[in-house]
Amino acid sequence: MAASSSSVSLLISCSFCLLSFLALSSALQTAASRRDGRSRISSLISQQLFDSFFLHKDDPACPANNFYTYASFLQASTSFPKFGNTGSQVRRRREVAAFLAQVSHETTGGWPTAPDGPFAWGLCFKEEVSPQSDYCDSTNKQWPCYPGRSYKGRGPIQLSNFNYGQAGKALGFDGLRNPEIVSNNSLVSFKTALWFWMTEQKPKPSCHKVMVGRYVRTRDDLAANRTVGFGMVTNIINGGLECGLPNDGRVNDRIGYFQRYANLFGVDTGPNLDCQYQKPFN
């Protein structure tokens, strides 16, 4: 028997209701996930603890004063649900401490005799001072430079070069045409740093995977004496300039921040803090 027009209409209506319900359910789950992400990171690092890490980031002497906010950090972290949410509580805290230590070195305003010590001055700068070039790689056809733009270091991780294009594609902004957004928008700025932290760029692993103990060294790593720990993260970030050197001051500065933050978190730093015996990644 053929279905009546009223039955067909009812069937279509019910199907539409089901699709609407599924869409609403998905949206609610996404919203809940974002709220949970915010709660997850804030349960590891409160506003008070965040402020104790960065005692001077909002001093008038810091060019980035009032730019790197706790709220932006929390919101940015919701875009990367595995950040600070992998492994034991110790590993989670250690990863956040390592991330904040690395970005603190990249943006430091400290000096040896600074008030509260040199490792209380992270997140003081939001862009590179006196860059030596515009960091345009004219040979890179995949991520071509836009005329008149500078790809100098910006943001917590001091994003530079073609990373602007990659980060922009991943995060939804035009990094090649508008690299300045990284030092003009606090949320975008933190997102670029977390993107760099969480993203594998072969032959380099992600900093995240290293710090949570999920990275298995390759044959090349073994030959290059690249040991898993904070030192390998430094190698990922700037190994070409800092690793394979004895007692490098920049490496020691990164370690100093990490040791202070790990102590404030109440966790140990883990082994292999430096990269002085490691060969840089190619």
Residues identified as active-site: 106
Exposure of 85 in the CB half-sphere (CA atoms within 13 A): 17
- Residue 64 makes CB contacts below 8 A (sequence gap 6+) with 57, 107, 123, 124, 125, 126
**Closest residue by Cα to residue 44 from 104, 93, 86:** 93
Cα dihedral value 156, 160, 165, 171, nearest 10: 0
- Residue 208 makes CB contacts below 8 A (sequence gap 6+) with 82, 83, 86, 95, 197, 198
Q: Any bridge partners for residue 127, and if so which?
A: 154
CA distances from 130 to 150, 152, 238 (A): 12, 9, 19
Query: CA quadruple 57, 154, 103, 78: dihedral positive or negative?
Result: positive
Task: Please give the Cα distance from 249 to 240 (Å, whole number).
Answer: 15
